[in-house]
Amino acid sequence: MSKIIHSMIRVQDLNHSLKFYAECFGLHPAHRLDFPSFSLVYLRNAENDAEIELTWNKDRTEPYTHGDGYGHIGVCVPDVATDRARLLALGYSPLDIKEFKADDGSLIARYFFIQDPDGYKVEVLERHGHYQ
């Protein structure tokens, strides 16, 4: 069984977005990953298991439109290989399994994407580390 764990949106001004979500909804950073060209900040509060992931692409200078501002919904499952095989057997077309690793080679995430009938992306992550 899967559960929704986060929904990602792209933001142009990370500090402005952090202030907005904190002030309006009491959502604060629970986890943050900073890379040279982008940052991922996961927001939640005590009321939620699910998070909003803010993605800040540091070199972006123009505002996002609604068309390219939306990212994906994230769900997690016990084993991505098993779940991907199940989806293939049902006739769906999940993309290949990928791994996201830290500089030291340790696993951050194992995942694949699939699109819903309207083309919205869903990220299916293996339960590991932050992604539970």
> CB within 8 A of 94, min separation 6: which ones?
84, 87, 88, 112, 113, 114, 124
99 is catalytic: no
Instruction: Please identify which of the residues 23, 53, 62, 123 carries the catalytic annotation.
Output: 123
Closest by CA to 72, choosing from 111, 44, 127, is: 111
Phi, psi of 97, rounded to the nearest 5 degrees:
-75, 135
* Other C-beta atoms lying within 10 Å of the C-beta of residue 52: 17
> CB within 8 A of 25, min separation 6: which ones?
45
Q: Which two tokens stand for residue 7?
A: 């929904």
Residues across the chain: 132
Residues noted as catalytic: 123
